[in-house]
Structure 1
Amino acid sequence: MRSTKKSALGIITTMLVLLGVVLSACGGSGSSSTPTATPVFNYPLAGIADLATFDPAMATDQLSSQAINMVFVGLVSLNADQKVIPELAQSWTTSKDGLTWTFKLKPGLKFSDGKPLTSTDVVYSLDRALSKDLNSPASPSYLNLIKDSDKRLGGTINTLIGDSLLAPDASTVAIKINKPASYFLASLTYSTAFVVEKSLIDQYGNKNFTDHLTTGGGSGPYKVQEYKHGKDIIFVPNPNYEGPKATVKVVSTFYKTAETAFQAYQNGQVDQAAVPSPDLAQVKNSKEYHIVPILSIFYYGLNYLSKPFDNIHIRQAFALALNKDQINKTAWRGINVPTNHIVPQGMPGYNENLKGVDGTTSTAGNATMAKQLFTQGLKEEGYANAAALPTLKFPYQSGGADLDKEITIATQEWKDVLGVTVKQVPTDFETLSTELPKNVGTANIQMFQTGWGDDYPDAQDFLTLQFAAGSPNNQTNYGQNHSSDAAAQVAVQKALTAADIEQDPTKRLQAYNTAEQQLINDVVWLPIYQKARSRVLKSYIHGRAFNAGDFNAPDDWALMTVSSH
């Protein structure tokens, strides 16, 4: 999943609105006979002006997924320890050949509006997510194991219901897949497999139904009480949720930057916030401070279809010219974990023996080798010197002073070590998220900064899903270019797809480890750091746990309480 990284009048207005909510939640100054109001958790959505989407089938970014995961669920989900657990499904079995999965639903399932939820709704939702008309940017990645999904996505068949998606009775769902992949169950925890209410979509349409979630739509722990685009979303507990019931109302206000959200926290407007690194010193010894490494890698992409990055030695030079330790220390106050890895630490399949481009585990760079490789690459491509290179533009996710500083340090290190001038192009998250998928098969964006957070607990999510032939996430165009080492790249792609169906767990992870090492040598990504979330949480919020998956499991919302404040 792609990761995200003011006016005074706007802040004041938001503060007044939320102050009213907080006073209401705490009972205000009314008499003792006034009924106790539902407690409120003010939970900001920072770094965006609005959700990119509220449709489970369309989500590709973390902040949209946070809202979606509160309202919608699927057959299975992940708990706080990143283990797959039953959600709408009560149990499941697989056929001997591993190609058919049969799920038994829990009894009495309902949507938030009280209408029954049956197997028909499950297969409808999966089929809808794969329909050509919807044109989901996520389904080709997360639902591609479903048999004939490519035909449904391509429009050559009109439905998978009765083909690979079966509902033999109201409580049974059968799904046929195209290869015996052990990660299939985990892939169903991503939102593309979540169940949506057909009657709402029939009434309002595929694109507009999310503006009417106050009337139904999902079956998760929460339902939408109010959604004001560009302002806030108010979530209230769903009384028809099949799991433990939440008791706390959640108010999510949009903040364009982490800095403004943190200021709102200090002003008492929100109950949780990420901590900008300049503010760490004042909060890191507080009981309200929490830091948790998460399963998310932030990296730079060098497009193999764009010169000069079609040359492996120039890519390697750019990688080794960066001192990731210095970047983390200076830009991020040492909070994150500098890394050479694609698969993050804590994920099954993490390779503790992986080496960087120079054959060492160092993340401090190697200026001497970088210069040698750069000189070699320039000669191979016929460039007289660094000044002869094409103009290099570097778009990145703007919206935070820390990231601005990171990119400034990186571009200066490339200048100092290689003599290359790279122009910084700060770009808002929504725009960059829209443009990067268009990079597949094109030379549109030469280089870029972004991140990837885990979608499900399997190394396939960080490897095959990113770099396999035809992957919509392959935005550096690995294996689909005209560089001299393209054939070797294709061999790695084939090794990844073979690992996907390897039934021996040990052999499977070893195959992924071997492929990841070659991907690093090829600089398919230039990993910078594994993200660590640095947050503050008000002491009156209880039961709010932070985990490596960086999400709240559906049942865990019931653990949250708010004491008087």
Structure 2
Amino acid sequence: MPHMRKAILIIVAAAVVISGLGFAAVHFGTVVVPARGGTYVEGIVGSPNYINPILCQFNQVDQDLVSLVFSGLTSTDAQGVVIPDLAERWEISPDGLRYTFHLRPDARWQDGAPVTSTDVAFTIQSIQDPGYQGPSELHNLWSSIQVDTPDAQTVVFTLPEPFAPFLEYTTQRIIPSHILATVSPQQLPTSQFNAQPVGTGPYKIAEVTAHYVTLDANPNYYGPQPHISHIRMQFYADDASLMAAEQRGEVAGLAQVLPEDMAILQKSTRLNVYSAPYAGYTMVFLNLNRPVFQDPAVRKALWEAIDRQGLIDRDLNGQGIVLNGPILPNSWAYDPNLPKITYDPKAAAAALDAAGWVDPNHEGVRSKDGVKLEFTLLTNNDDPVRTKMIDEIAQEWGAIGVRVHTQTIDMTELVRDHLYKRDYDALLYGWDLPAADPDPYPLWHSSQISDTGQNYVGYSDPTSDQLLEQARRTSDRNQRVALYSQFQQRFVDQAPAILLYQPVYTYAVDKQVKGLQITPLQTTGDRFRTVSDWYIATRRVLFTDARAKAQ
């Protein structure tokens, strides 16, 4: 018995020791967590002109820097849902005409000045000013909206009529009135502010040179403090120079990876390659004023005759998503039951036969009522991928009896003299969608056919107009989904343009940079949406401390 008691005591003592060791492991063990510090160097093609949120729209480098330096009343999450930013909350009147925003009391400019409603009003009034030098569509959007500031923390927007997408336009980033109040909109493009801006975002400009811009973490930022202390954006003249810099180890990230470079970078042991859908589409604009494109049967046959997945695989290294309608697949308004436009040249040829477009004399081109199915397809000559694509498309259309002449010209001339002036037959080009709200009105409503509108194809369809108008007037998302579903179906039936693909944006970041999250991109700057979570430096802390902080 004494031996039995002794054995039991030994077992109990061992259990206590083991339990104590377990307790110590939990309470006194350490884990690695992100720490503040480090510098992230990203290479990008181009250089900044205006680090200013109301002038940055024409330059990707500007837009990327603005996304780090400035913020708006609201922002959008990865699903395109509007969320608070400088505004902590808002109310919308029952009639949908008044939007009241309440600013965060802790928001500060990077020079320490408080953010007030005066800054918001100043920003919008600068855009509304007739002398505004930024995009006309931004001016047109805000021109009829009244801005009131009942107190320093409150901003009220009054709309002339209900406009369901308006909330998302409050993501417009704000500029400081206390710095720019004496600068007129006409003078703003020449202001030193564009090179040495003061914003409200997670990073602030520290140094600007011809070759790079250095940003420091903003200690006045109202959101989570970034882990990475410094970001340097390094500028290169072209993609070849950027890739050479990567090979030399000059940069820790590439702002964009082109399809032709994918194979090289996917083999890299130093970089992680990230890809995400980008908000826009590449399409063939069809000038519906041309007799050859006034028959929907012709337009739909042209759509069916293009091997779009083949174009993506051959020319983009798979970096694209085939589109079947004007609302992007990652949008809440996308109709997943929309009929798919599949590559079927035999069906396309049969549809042309049925519509009376024939080639009885075997001349290689179809005709109907004296109109030949013959036209010119334009694109910009500085994009080798698009140049290759129009030749491939011309061959595919030629196989069904459509004669196509391809032509490439300078991009500025293409857009200014042909697309904007509606002086073209067919034109292959990309189009960015500036807002996460899926509202297709600007591109497809007949009121936008005028010179200042963006309905560049001249699509005029009373049924589509009615659906788009109703969807703009209601804030009920379920109603908008139903209306947009009908519009998408109508679009497929009418085929006013030939949608090819949604781009996939690809960038690369050194594997030593952790905490990145991949989300769909509304702008290229959205790759920094979670930049406060990125980290390079780490430190060890007690497990219990890390767990308490996580809770």
TM-score (norm 1): 0.76
Amino acid aligned to 1:521: D
Q: Distance in 2 between matches of 1:102 and 1:185?
A: 11
Amino acid aligned to 2:222: E
Q: Which residue of 1 aligns with 2:7?
A: none
1:248/1:562 contact within 8 Å kept = no
Q: Match for 1:354 among 330, 335, 338?
A: 338
The answer as to 2:160 corresponding to 1:178 is yes
Secondary structure of the residue that 2:161 maps to in structure 1? coil
Q: Distance in 2 between matches of 1:198 and 1:453?
A: 33
The answer as to 2:239 corresponding to 1:265 is no
Q: Match for 2:53 among 31, 52, 56?
A: 56
Superposition map of 1:104-143 within 5 A? 104-140=102-138
Q: Which residue of 1 aligns with 2:466?
A: 494
Q: Match for 1:513 among 485, 507, 517?
A: 485
- Deviation digits for residues 250-303 of structure 1, max 9, x if unmatched? 222344544543443333233233443344344446672333333432212122
Amino acid aligned to 1:523: A
Q: Match for 2:193 among 204, 207, 212?
A: 212
C-alpha change, 1:529 and 1:513, in structure 2 (3 Å) is same
- Deviation digits for residues 154-209 of structure 1, max 9, x if unmatched? xxxxxx7xxx21111111111111233332212212x3x53344533625864335
Q: Which residue of 2 aligns with 1:77?
A: 75
Q: Which residue of 2 aligns with 1:86?
A: 84
- Deviation digits for residues 476-518 of structure 1, max 9, x if unmatched? 2434xxxxxx4xx143123201111124322221111211222
Q: Distance in 2 between matches of 1:210 and 1:542?
A: 37
Q: Distance in 2 between matches of 1:310 and 1:198?
A: 54
Q: CA RMSD in A?
A: 3.3
Amino acid aligned to 1:243: G
For structure 2, list consecutive stretches of 5 or more residues without a partner in the other structure. Answer: 1-34, 359-364, 539-551
Amino acid aligned to 2:287: N
Secondary structure of the residue that 1:459 maps to in structure 2? coil
Q: Distance in 1 between matches of 2:278 and 2:499?
A: 15
Secondary structure of the residue that 2:399 maps to in structure 1? helix
Secondary structure of the residue that 1:133 maps to in structure 2? coil
Greater Cα offset, 91-100 or 117-126? 91-100
Q: Which has the larger radius of gyration?
A: 2
Q: Distance in 1 between matches of 2:464 and 2:244?
A: 47
Superposition map of 1:243-392 within 5 A? 243-246=223-226, 247-255=228-236, 257-273=238-254, 274-284=256-266, 288-306=272-290, 308-355=292-339, 360-363=340-343, 366-369=347-350, 371-372=352-353, 375=357, 379-380=367-368, 382-383=370-371, 385-386=372-373, 389=374, 392=376
C-alpha change, 1:62 and 1:136, in structure 2 (3 Å) is closer
C-alpha change, 1:473 and 1:71, in structure 2 (3 Å) is farther
For structure 1, list consecutive stretches of 5 or more residues without a partner in the other structure. Answer: 1-35, 151-159, 480-485
Q: Which residue of 2 aligns with 1:15?
A: none
Amino acid aligned to 2:500: I
Q: Distance in 1 between matches of 2:94 and 2:63?
A: 34
Q: Distance in 1 between matches of 2:44 and 2:413?
A: 17
2:36/2:229 contact within 8 Å kept = no
Q: Which residue of 2 aligns with 1:20?
A: none
Q: Which protein has greater RCO, CA pairs closer than 8 Å, 6+ apart?
A: 2
Figure out how many residues of one structure are paired with residues of the other and give that number: 485
Secondary structure of the residue that 2:530 maps to in structure 1? helix
Q: How big is the shift at 1:379?
A: 4.5
The answer as to 2:214 corresponding to 1:234 is yes
C-alpha change, 1:517 and 1:264, in structure 2 (3 Å) is farther
Q: Which residue of 1 aligns with 2:362?
A: none
- Deviation digits for residues 516-548 of structure 1, max 9, x if unmatched? 222233333311112223333210122232211
Secondary structure of the residue that 2:400 maps to in structure 1? helix
Q: Distance in 2 between matches of 1:529 and 1:73?
A: 30
Q: Which residue of 1 aligns with 2:536?
A: 562
Secondary structure of the residue that 1:465 maps to in structure 2? helix
Greater Cα offset, 83-92 or 531-540? 531-540
- Deviation digits for residues 42-88 of structure 1, max 9, x if unmatched? 22333xx4457544224445724322222221111123443322111
Q: Which residue of 1 aligns with 2:423?
A: 444
Q: Distance in 2 between matches of 1:267 and 1:97?
A: 60
Q: Distance in 1 between matches of 2:351 and 2:410?
A: 28
Q: Which residue of 2 aligns with 1:394?
A: 378
Q: Distance in 2 between matches of 1:284 and 1:512?
A: 39
Q: How big is the shift at 1:220?
A: 1.9
Superposition map of 1:548-559 within 5 A? 548-549=520-521, 551-552=525-526, 556-559=530-533
Q: Which residue of 2 aligns with 1:41?
A: 40
Superposition map of 1:5-20 within 5 A? none
1:57/1:139 contact within 8 Å kept = no
Q: Which residue of 2 aligns with 1:466?
A: 443
Q: Which residue of 1 aligns with 2:16?
A: none
Identity of counterpart residues, as a percentage? 20
2:49/2:194 contact within 8 Å kept = no
Secondary structure of the residue that 1:44 maps to in structure 2? strand
2:391/2:406 contact within 8 Å kept = no
